[in-house]
Amino acid sequence: MKEKKSRTQLVADYDTLQRIFHRPEDEQSRNVLTKYMEQILFGLHDFLQKHVGITEEIPLKDLAEQFTSSKIARTPVKKLADVITEIIEEIAPQAVNVSSPYFIGHMTSAIPFFMVHLSTIVAALNQNQVKIETSKVVSVYERQVLAKIHRLLFNLDESFYKTHIQKPESALGSFVEDGTLANLSALWVARNRLLPSESGYSGAERDGMVRAMHDRGLKKLTILVSELGHYSIRKSAGVLGLGYDAITPIPVDGENRIDLKELKRTLEKHQRDPETAVMAVIGIAGTTETGAVDPLPTMAELCHEFGGIHFHVDAAWGGPVLLSERYRGLLKGIESADSVTIDGHKQFYLPMTNGMVFFRDPQAMDAVAYNAAYINRPGSVDLGIRSLAGSRAANCLILGSALDIMGAEGYALLIDHGIELARIFAKEIIARPMFELVTAPELNILTYRLVPNELHVSQGSTAATNKDVRLQLLNDINIKVQRMQREAGKSFVSRTTLRRSDQPDTVVLRVVLMNHRTTPEILNTILDEQEDIYLNRIAPTLSLNKIS
Amino acid sequence: MKEKKSRTQLVADYDTLQRIFHRPEDEQSRNVLTKYMEQILFGLHDFLQKHVGITEEIPLKDLAEQFTSSKIARTPVKKLADVITEIIEEIAPQAVNVSSPYFIGHMTSAIPFFMVHLSTIVAALNQNQVKIETSKVVSVYERQVLAKIHRLLFNLDESFYKTHIQKPESALGSFVEDGTLANLSALWVARNRLLPSESGYSGAERDGMVRAMHDRGLKKLTILVSELGHYSIRKSAGVLGLGYDAITPIPVDGENRIDLKELKRTLEKHQRDPETAVMAVIGIAGTTETGAVDPLPTMAELCHEFGGIHFHVDAAWGGPVLLSERYRGLLKGIESADSVTIDGHKQFYLPMTNGMVFFRDPQAMDAVAYNAAYINRPGSVDLGIRSLAGSRAANCLILGSALDIMGAEGYALLIDHGIELARIFAKEIIARPMFELVTAPELNILTYRLVPNELHVSQGSTAATNKDVRLQLLNDINIKVQRMQREAGKSFVSRTTLRRSDQPDTVVLRVVLMNHRTTPEILNTILDEQEDIYLNRIAPTLSLNKIS
C-alpha cells in the first residue's frame, strides 16, 4: 500500500505515546476502542460476505508493485482507524477469503467466531510461556491442555495422568509453531535418544553428529516414511544434520498407504547393515495430498520387532478425527506411537498458528532439555526448558477454551461432516463422465481430475492410445482448469502432482472438505464450473484428434 | 480450572454448530459479539488496574492442583461468556501482569493497546503465509515489511531494495516464531553455505554432517560467541548436528563485551587446525543478561580477515534501538553482518510472539529452500519455500501497521525512555549504600545486588574478609530478596547468575526497563522494598559477625 499523508500531520511525542498505550480510563476512550473493534469484527465480516469470491482478480504482479516501499516513516503516517479501514478496504479484497465455503483447496478454512475473541484475550494478556515468571497459572493451564490431547491420543490410564500432568520433571508434549516444527521436535528427540551421551559414546546433542556416529561405527541414519510423507520430514532431516537424503521413501499401496512388505523389507535390509541405523519410522494419519492413513498398528509392531525403533505418527491433519466416535477407528494404532504431531490450526479450527507434538514417554523430552542462568533453572517448572522455541504465546488458552466450548461432540460434528461430504462428492465425481476419481477419500480429502470424453481410454483416439501423450495432455488440461478457476475467483480447489514410484507423475485436483457450510450443491457448482472452463475455454484451443 | 456444569445442559448439534460459527448477520448477534469483546478489552483491563500487583500470592503448587483434568468433555461445558468471565476472574489474577510498570524483570512488558486490535485482525483474516494461495496480497505485504526492517539494519541503497523487495527469487529475511528460531535459521543457513553440495563434496543439508565433513577432511565445526551469548545458540548448535560443545565461549571484557584479543587468538588457533572450521562468529547487540553490545565493527573486520566467516548478530533485544536517532550509534557495525536476529515482541512491542531473521545477501536463504508438489512449486512466489516453519500467521500485518502508527519517532520515544531511565536508575543504585551496581547499563538493562553494610569490603568483619564466604552470603541474600519481593507480588525484578570466566559466579538482580510508565519514583519504591525486605526479614535470620 502506498503510504499517504494523513490530512493532519501526526507527531510522535510523549502525549501521543500515552494515547498510543491507550488505557480505556474514561467512557470516551472506551467508545473509541470499541468502535475500532466493531469495525474489525463486522466491517471485515460484511466485506467478506459481500465479496463472495475467494479473492479479487488483480494479478499478484500488479499487487506486488504496490508494495515496494522499504523506508520506515520517520513520523507516524496513519492512525489506527486509517489502518483498519485500509486493511478492510484494500488488503482484505486482495487477501484470500479462506472462510468461503467455495474455498476447498487447502487445509485452511473458516474458524468459529469465538476463536477470534480468544485470540484477542491471548494478545491482551500477553503472557510468555517460556517461564513461570511471565505466565504463572497459564503454565499449569498449558500442561492441562497438553494432557487432554495426550490422553485423546494415547489413552493411558487415570493414574498415569494424575502422576504426570503437573509434575515438573515430566513433559507430555509441547506447543510449537506448526506441524513442521512438531515433526522437527519429534525427530530431534528421536535422534538424541538414539545417540545419547553415555559411557564410551559421544552424544549427538552435545558432541555433534560426526563424533556420535563415529563412536558407534555408524555411517548413516535413515528415516522411513511413505513416499507421501510431508516435505517437512525431509526438511527436519536436513536441519538435524542427517541430510534429507536420509529419508527413505517407501512406496504406497493402491490406497496410498505405506506398503508394509516394502517397509519390512527395508527394515531387514538396514538390519543387515551395521553402518546404518533406522532412527525413526513415520506413519501418516492423513497424508497431505490424499488424506490416507497408514496401517499404524502393524507399523508399531514392526518398530517393536526391529529393536524398538522410534515410531512417530504425523497426525497434523488427522489427529482430531479421534474426537469422532464414528470415525476414530480410522486412526487405530496411533496409541502405540512414541510421538505424534498435531496441528491445532487444522482440524481443531484454531486461528493460525498452533502446532503440537506429544510423546508417550513423559521423560522423552529430557533428550532436548536446555537451561540458562537467567531463565529456566534446572529442576524448575518452566515450560521453556524442553521446547524448541524460547518465547511462546499462550495459545493453550485458545485450545483449552475451544475444547470446553465445543466439547468432543461439537468437533465430531465438523469431522463427520467433512468425511461424509467427501464420500458424497466422490460419488458425484464418479457419476460425471468428464471426471475421474484418482484417490478415494478415507478422511475428508480426495483427488480427481478432469478427463474429457476424447481422452477416455475407451475412445481409441490417437491421443488416447499413446499413453505418454495422453498423460501429458491430461496434466496440461488439469493445470489449466485449476488455474483458470482460481483466477476467476469464485471458487478454489488446489492441484498437486502425485508422484508414486510405480506410476507416472499425475496432475490432480485436490479437495479438502472442512468448512461446515460447504454443501453437495456447492460442490456440484464447482464441478459445473470446471466442465464449463474446459468446454468453453480449453477444448477450443486443442485439436485432440490431430495429436499423434 | 475444575469444569463446572452449566446450569442448562449444553449440547452439540448442527444448530449449535451454526451458532458457534457465529455470523453477525443480525443486530442481535452483533450486540452479543460486541459485548463479549468489550468484556475482554475492558473487563481484563479493569481487573489488571484494580489488582496493581504482578500476580496474586497463591503458590504455584496450589494452582497446579486445580489443573489436573485430563479428559476432554464429551458435550460442551461452557459458553463463550463463561470462558471469558473465568479467564478474567480466575486466570488473570493468577497470570502475570506483565503490563505493570512495577514489572521490570523480563523482556515482556505493556504493549500499545492497538496491538490487541491488530492481533484480532490477524485472527479474523486467518491467512496462512506459507503460500500465495492462502495469503495472496499479504505475501507481498510481508515482503515489504521485511524490506523495511532489512533497510533499517543494513541500509543498502534504494536500487538494491527496488530490485529485491518483490523479486520471487530473493529473500531478505523471514518471520519466525521467536529469537531462538531466528538464531537457528541464521545458523542453519551458515552451516549449509559452509558445507554446500558441490563437485567432489557432499552437502550438509542433503547428505548430512557426517559425509559433508568427511569429504572436506573436517572433524569439527565451531561457533564463536561471547560467554554472554543466549542459550538458544547452544540449542541451535545441538539441533543442527554440530553439538552444543561446538560453541566456543569467548571471555568478555570489563564492560561485558566480547574480548577482541581473545576472539582473534581463537580465530588464529582454529586457522592453524585444518580439521576445524569456524562456521560463524556471533556478535550480540544487547546481551540478555546485561544489555551490552559487542564491538560489532571489529568483529565484522575479523570475519572478513579470516576468510569470510559468517558473521551473525543476535540483535533480538537491541535491534530496534536503530530507530532512535540519539542512540542508534550504539549498534554501529550491525550493517556489516551476514545475518541478524530481531524479536518483534521485545522492543517492537508486538504481542507474543514475533521473531525475524534477516540476511544481507538476498540469495543466502537459497541454502535452505524446500518445495513440495502440492505447495510451493519451484520458482513460485510462495514464502514457505525458504522458511523453517510451514504454516505461519500474518503477523507481518501487526508489525507493518505498528510502523505506520508509531513511526520511527514513536518507537524512539520508548527506546530513549528506557535507556535514559536505566542511567538514572544506575545513579540511584550507586548513591544508595546498601546496593552495588554490578553491570552498568549500555542499553536499558542493568544488574545490581544488595550488599548489606556488614558485608562491605571496608567493614573488615570476618565474613567480609573471607572472599568465598562473603560471595556465598551475598548470593544467598540476593536470591532471598528477589524471591520474597516476587512473592509479595507488588513488583518484580529478575535475578540471574553472572558466569564470567575470570570471576566467581555472582548472583545479581536484573532490571529491564521498557515500560513507558515506569518512573524513577517507581524504581525508588522497588529499591525501598528490597531494603525493607533485607532489614526486616533477612538480616534478623543472619548473624554476620559470627561467621568465620
CA distance B165 to B186: 20
- Greatest pairwise CA separation for chain B in angstroms: 80
**Residue contact B245–A207, C-beta within 8 A:** yes
A12 touches chain B (CB under 8 A): yes
**Residue contact A409–B75, C-beta within 8 A:** yes
What letters, b where the CB count within 10 A reaches 16 and e where it falls short, cover A77-103?
A: bbbbebbbebbbeebbbbbbbbbbbbb
Evaluate whether ipTM surpasses 0.90: yes
> Residue A75 CB: number of other CB atoms within 10 A?
15
Over range B94-107, report the average pLDDT: 94
Question: pLDDT digits over A91-144, tens only?
Answer: 999 999 999 999 999 999 999 989 999 999 999 999 999 999 999 999 999 999
Percent of chain B residues past pLDDT 90, beyond the cut: 82
By the 8 A CB rule, do B93 and B52 touch?
A: no
Over range B200-220, report the average pLDDT: 97
Percent of chain A residues past pLDDT 90, beyond the cut: 82
Question: Hey, what amino acid is at B291?
Answer: G
Best residue of A22, A79, A117 to probe chain B, by most B CBs closer than 10 Å: A117
Q: Band the pLDDT of A501: cuts 50, 70, 90.
A: confident
Chain B residues within an 8 Å CB radius of A178? 389-392
Reduced to 3 states (helix: H, G, I; strand: E, B; else coil), residue B196 is coil
Give the A window 375-434 contacts with B, CB below 8 Å.
375, 381, 388-394, 397, 401, 403-410, 412-414
Counts for chain A of helices (H) and strands (E), in that order: 18, 11
* pLDDT for B419 beyond 80: yes
Chain B residues within an 8 Å CB radius of A381? 60
Best residue of A4, A96, A127 to probe chain B, by most B CBs closer than 10 Å: A96
Strand duo A310-314 + A339-343: pairing: parallel
* pLDDT for A217 beyond 80: yes
By the 8 A CB rule, do A394 and A135 touch?
A: yes
Distance from CA of B281 to the nearest CA of A (A): 18
Partner residue opposite A404 with nearest CB, options B3, B112, B351: B3
Question: pLDDT digits over B354-370, tens only?
Answer: 999 999 999 999 999 98
Q: Can you give the pLDDT at residue B4? A: 45
Partner residue opposite A123 with nearest CB, options B22, B64, B116: B116
CA distance B57 to A340: 37
A35 touches chain B (CB under 8 A): no
Partner residue opposite A70 with nearest CB, options B134, B137, B161: B161
Best residue of B172, B183, B218, B239 to probe chain A, by most A CBs closer than 10 Å: B239
By the 8 A CB rule, do A378 and B168 touch?
A: no
Chain A residues within an 8 Å CB radius of B203? 243
Q: Can you give the pLDDT at residue B27? A: 82
Q: Can you give the pLDDT at residue A56? A: 80
Which of A4 and B253 is assigned the larger pLDDT?
A: B253
pTM: 0.96
Give the B window 423-462 contacts with A, CB below 8 Å.
none
Q: Can you give the pLDDT at residue B1? A: 44
How much is the mean pLDDT over chain B? Answer: 92
Question: pLDDT digits over B375-416, tens only?
Answer: 555 567 899 999 999 999 999 999 999 999 999 999 999 999
Q: Can you give the pLDDT at residue B498? A: 93
Question: pLDDT digits over A436-468, tens only?
Answer: 999 999 999 999 999 999 898 876 666 667 889
Over range A488-517, report the average pLDDT: 93
* pLDDT for A373 beyond 80: no
Question: pLDDT digits over A331-355, tens only?
Answer: 999 999 999 999 999 999 999 999 9
**Residue contact A41–B20, C-beta within 8 A:** no
Reduced to 3 states (helix: H, G, I; strand: E, B; else coil), residue A507 is strand
| Percentage helix, strand, coil for chain B under 3-state DSSP, each rounded to 5 | 50, 15, 40
E-strand stretches of B30-80: none
Worst-scoring range by mean pLDDT, A54-63, A470-479, B213-222? A54-63
Contacts with A202 (C-beta within 8 Å, 6 or more apart), sequence order: A195, A208, A211, A212, A214, A215, B243
* pLDDT for A7 beyond 80: no
Q: In what order do the strands lie in the sheet with B506-512?
A: B435-439, B445-450, B506-512, B494-498
Q: Can you give the pLDDT at residue B10? A: 67
B30 touches chain A (CB under 8 A): yes
CA distance A119 to B116: 9
Q: Which domains does chain B have, with CATH numbers?
A: 1-95 (no CATH), 175-369 (3.40.640.10), 408-541 (3.90.1150.170)
Minimum Cα–Cα distance from A21: chain B residue: B112
Worst-scoring range by mean pLDDT, A375-384, B245-254, B488-497? A375-384
Partner residue opposite B496 with nearest CB, options A40, A374, A394: A374
Question: pLDDT digits over A403-422, tens only?
Answer: 999 999 999 999 999 999 99
Partner residue opposite A67 with nearest CB, options B17, B22, B143: B143
Distance from CA of B78 to the nearest CA of A (A): 5
A327 phi and psi angles, rounded to 5 deg: -115, 0
Closest CA to B379 of B132, B206, B174: B132
Q: Band the pLDDT of A526: cuts 50, 70, 90.
A: very high
Q: Can you give the pLDDT at residue A6? A: 42
Prior bond of A353 cis (ω within 30°):
yes
User: Where does residue A377 fall: left (phi above 0), alpha (psi -120 to 50 degrees), or beta otherwise?
Assistant: beta
**Residue contact B80–A405, C-beta within 8 A:** yes
By the 8 A CB rule, do A135 and A127 touch?
A: yes
Cell numbers given for A26:
474514561
User: Where does residue A204 fall: left (phi above 0), alpha (psi -120 to 50 degrees), or beta otherwise?
Assistant: alpha
* pLDDT for B220 beyond 80: yes
Q: Can you give the pLDDT at residue A3? A: 44
Which of B305 and A462 is assigned the larger pLDDT?
A: B305
**Complete DSSP assignment for A42-111:** IIHHHHHHH--SSS-S--HHHHHTT----PPPSS----HHHHHHHIIIIIGGGS--TTSTTB-SSS----
Contacts with B260 (C-beta within 8 Å, 6 or more apart), sequence order: B295, B298, B299, B302
Distance from CA of B528 to the nearest CA of A (A): 22
Over range A252-262, report the average pLDDT: 97
